[in-house]
Structure 1
Amino acid sequence: MRRKLLLSLVLIFALSLGSMTFAQLESKLEGHWARNEIDKTFMAYYFPYMAKNSFEGFEPNTGTTKQDFTLSLISLFRDRGYEVSGLGDPGILTRRDMASIIGSRLVETGFAIDGSHQLPFTDISSMSEAEKGYLSLLHQLGIVKGESNSVFNPIRRLSQVEAVVLVQRLDGVLKKQNEISFQVTNNEQSYDKQEEMATMIGEDKVTLIITKEFPTPGYSLEIEKIVRENELFRIHFRIDQPDPDMIYPQVITYQTLTVEIPKAELGEPPYNFVVEGFRITD
């Protein structure tokens, strides 16, 4: 519910900006390398100081501060279910600072630095071993790609547009990290059940039995993904409607999915599973 409310607020905020606001953003990004990489709604929500007054404060190649960047970063981590350490100072933010700020918080959340990963950059000799470790983690995860294949430019100030793109890439990594593996072991249709969801906790797996109601036969029900969100696990369905050219009896049907999830990925119970129309804690 919290995530749904958050998305609704983001959408309302984005709509309140108006088409003219986004037109001004597009104008500032005209001809810029990041024009097609920026998610406008994402930027408006996580970088409000840039979006304020119709993106008046957004200058793609101008730098930002450690404090502003860290505020955006902590907000994203919290939305993805992670609590990370506090704010940065108001000083200027260099690219080496950025690597440490993101990398250290990824390590806080359980990401490990792979000491065998080779960085391609030839201009990082001035960075400490700790800084290189954080940069290596970001490079391996695809968050940092460098100015070129061999140049990172650690002392240059991080630009506003780079800050947005990096946090967007981080978001993709956190979303993927939060996805839970699962296996659907049975999918059956019936006519005499009721909508419900039940869980059974075994020694090494958790089994979900989910039954959903449909107005006619012909619907297809699949699980696209299961994602950890703060203290709950959200199940995302994919539902395909019947072929409109087919004639189906007007009878209520039920589809029941049996889903197995490795217990090791969920941690210790209780487990709070949420799908549209259901919420159950075991």
Structure 2
Amino acid sequence: MNKKAWLIAALSLQLVSVYSVAAATSGSQVQTATISVDGKAAALQKQAVLHQQKTYVLAQDAASILKAKWTLQGQTGQMKVGNHTIAYQLDSGAVTVDGKAVQGGEAALLRGKDVYVPLRWLVEQAGQKIAWNPEKRAVEIVSSGQNDSFVLVDEKQLTEAEQEFVESVKGKQGIHQQGDLYVIARGQSPHPGYGLQVTKVQQSWEQLLVYVKLTEPVPGMMYPQVITYPYLTAKVKLPPYNTIVFIDADTNKPLFEGTQSNQ
């Protein structure tokens, strides 16, 4: 074989090798966007892949992001997230959750010997939140541990500056905020029989919903006739791009609707 023929043969073998890998990932390309978890950039072994407008990550990277366990045996890959097991059949493309087929289950993707899994679908199966930030060109994930972060606090535990803020707003009906400190103030009441009670905290899509009940005097009970200003103090560290909404537990409408808030 002359030199020219040898070069053509070698080039042909390289093209066949490239085609074999690409055939399994037709239409995929390297994802240049970053991936963050609770505001921190995720450390990835390999870059994510954009396939059919969906972000796929190396299975081992997905396990690290979700604090899960990934195992691969033959043509079956398993991702154990909390109490759930998500299984990927690499030869057939079938996907099951806890041994049952699920509607909308998204198959894994092969790139050579590496297995990539669909990030959004997997994150949602794990009960976490994921969103695309176009300004930062980032895929942002909020872990489930960040959801229930609303905590009522004793005013005595606050700093002197925070206590001064509470003192300045507790008599004004509304929701008052200073940093991660919130003061829920009912306003002037004729006696101590009136109050406030947080009944439920619920994480919705990019929103933390706090349900507050306006408690009423107990029928037949005698109260000292002294003006009071019922209020609650709480702290909450919201995940990136999340907002907090206070809702009247009895009406399911915004708390103190129609009044001035966020002083």
* TM-score w.r.t. length of structure 2: 0.37
* TM-score w.r.t. length of structure 1: 0.35
More strand by share: 2
